[in-house]
């Protein structure tokens, strides 16, 4: 395929979002070809999704290919997740899939085929900014911004930047640095997926398009019907993509042997039993047995009380996992939705990554104020980030946050809803 800056490779999963992405880009003048990424799959739905993607490509009259990345996906995503659970943390396979597969191997192969950019159905907005050095040290606050929305998606992001730069006054000349790409929360706040993209780099983002960032989900459904796409009524996938209809617990059982252990209170008292500590996540309230004592009057015994052990009643307060001890194979649980043991105000982070290289890194003596979320769809919470050592940071929330799970991602934003980066919760 001849290299062309307006040639875009669309990752077509077989869902409505990637289908509309391909349709929009073709309508806006891109040379579009679709690729279905064949990944590791448990319940057999991958073949159906591939067929749906192929039908959409036929409807749009665009070339269609399949990249077989099943082996790489199993090694880099599935085994990463299983290893994390074995070690007692809660890894995020969607973050790793984006880092290693979609914006790693898929991007590399698409560029090798001749694409100038790739596009996905993620709900997120991308922006390009020039940074102009000031006459003093550092960068001035004056940025020249180029919006992919204003560009109408008629050119790839890097070409949009180049067109923009060419139109600037000559006096700016060589004073303009290379472009810097930023990710912003999507227009549809309920569908925003910036949380899963915090590991992306400037090198990757210069080849990325995210057309759905400016649309709501209902608008995307309406466009699918307008373009008569076969996936217009297809339901959205839920949970971890490669599991399909298989539950996470049942999947993990095939890799991590079940081993019964004790459920403990915060004071160390045994109150129940579980199937194996690695199989649970922080905040989980199901899948283990809690036993309680019921005091009942004993008949013909002078009113003395007798006790019996039974499973927890439906109307009893729920218990939530707050700690896992893999070595001892125990779970510690807290009773009630408002139990203080469910909340933390300070957490440690590893593997910090900032998307924009110009953004100031937080020194230990001057913490950086920002907004953060510790799980997908959690509200943005005010916090400060301080660097303790080269790879260790502390995130301090203004208000305690509920059910924070080690291994998950803490993702940072500024007040303008720009996604700055993130790190792994230690």
Q: How far apart are CA 398 and CA 400, in angstroms?
A: 7
Beta carbons of 199 and 422 less than 8 angstroms apart: yes
Residues 234, 56, 19, 164, Cα dihedral to 10°? -170
Closest by CA position to 128, among listed 104, 99, 102, 163:
163
- Name the helix (H) or strand (E) containing 83: helix 79-86
From CA 195, how far away is CA 190, in angstroms rounded?
A: 12
**Residue among 22, 353, 359, 3 nearest 159 (CA):** 3
User: Is 241 a catalytic site residue?
Assistant: yes
Tokens of 72: 């790489």
Question: Residue 340 and residue 351: Cα distance in Å, rounded?
Answer: 28
**Which residues sit opposite 332 in a β-bridge?**
264, 323
Strand ranges, E, within 154-274: 180-185, 208-209, 261-264, 270-274
Catalytic residue among 9, 39, 208, 241: 241
Nearest Cα residue to 279 out of 299, 303, 308, 259: 259
- Number of Cβ within a 10 Å radius of residue 398: 12
What b/e string do you get for 302-333 counting C-beta neighbours within 10 Å, with b at 16 or more? eeeeeeeeeebeeeeeebbbbbbeeeeebbbb
Catalytic residue among 97, 208, 301, 403: 97
Strand 343-354 versus strand 418-425 pairing type: antiparallel
Q: What is the rounded radius of gyration, in angstroms, for the C-alpha atoms of the chain?
A: 25
Contact yes or no for 198/353 (Cβ under 8 A): yes
Residue 45 falls in the annotated catalytic set: no
Question: What is the distance between the alpha carbons of residues 295 and 281, in angstroms, rounded to a whole number?
Answer: 33
Q: Catalytic site residues?
A: 97, 241
């Amino acid at each position: 395929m001849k290299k062309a800056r307006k040639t875009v490779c669309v990752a077509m999963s077989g869902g409505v979002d990637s289908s509309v992405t391909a349709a929009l880009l073709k309508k806006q003048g891109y040379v579009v070809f679709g690729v279905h990424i064949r990944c590791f799959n448990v319940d057999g739905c991958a073949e159906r999704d591939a067929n749906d993607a192929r039908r959409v490509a036929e409807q749009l009259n665009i070339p269609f290919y399949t990249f077989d990345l099943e082996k790489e996906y199993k090694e880099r995503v599935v085994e990463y997740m299983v290893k994390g659970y074995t070690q007692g943390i809660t890894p995020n396979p969607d973050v790793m899939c984006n880092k290693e597969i979609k914006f790693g191997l898929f991007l590399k192969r698409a560029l090798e085929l001749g694409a100038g950019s790739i596009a996905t159905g993620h709900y997120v907005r991308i922006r390009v900014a020039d940074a102009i050095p000031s006459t003093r040290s550092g960068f001035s606050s004056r940025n020249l911004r180029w919006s992919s929305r204003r560009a109408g998606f008629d050119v790839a992001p890097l070409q949009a930047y180049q067109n923009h730069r060419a139109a600037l006054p000559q006096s700016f000349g060589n004073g303009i640095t290379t472009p810097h790409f930023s990710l912003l929360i999507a227009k549809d706040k309920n569908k925003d997926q910036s949380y899963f993209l915090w590991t992306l780099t400037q090198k990757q983002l210069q080849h990325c398009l995210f057309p759905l960032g400016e649309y709501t989900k209902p608008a995307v459904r309406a466009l699918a019907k307008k373009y008569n796409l076969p996936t217009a009524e297809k339901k959205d996938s839920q949970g971890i993509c490669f599991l399909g209809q298989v539950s996470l617990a049942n999947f993990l059982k095939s890799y991590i042997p079940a081993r019964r252990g004790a459920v403990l209170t915060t004071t160390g008292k045994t109150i129940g039993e579980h199937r194996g500590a690695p199989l649970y996540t922080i905040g989980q309230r199901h899948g283990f047995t809690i036993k309680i004592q019921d005091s009942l009057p004993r008949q013909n015994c002078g009113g003395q009380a007798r006790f019996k052990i039974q499973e927890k009643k439906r109307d009893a307060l729920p218990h939530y996992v707050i700690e896992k001890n893999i070595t001892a194979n125990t779970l510690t649980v807290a009773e009630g939705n408002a139990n203080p043991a469910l909340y933390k105000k300070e957490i440690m982070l590893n593997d910090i990554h900032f998307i924009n290289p110009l953004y100031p890194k937080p020194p230990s003596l001057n913490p950086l104020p920002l907004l953060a979320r510790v799980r997908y769809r959690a509200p943005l919470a005010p916090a400060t980030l301080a660097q303790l050592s080269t790879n260790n940071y502390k995130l301090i929330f203004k208000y305690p946050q509920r059910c924070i799970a080690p291994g998950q991602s803490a993702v940072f934003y500024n007040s303008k809803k720009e996604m700055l980066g993130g790190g792994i919760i230690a």
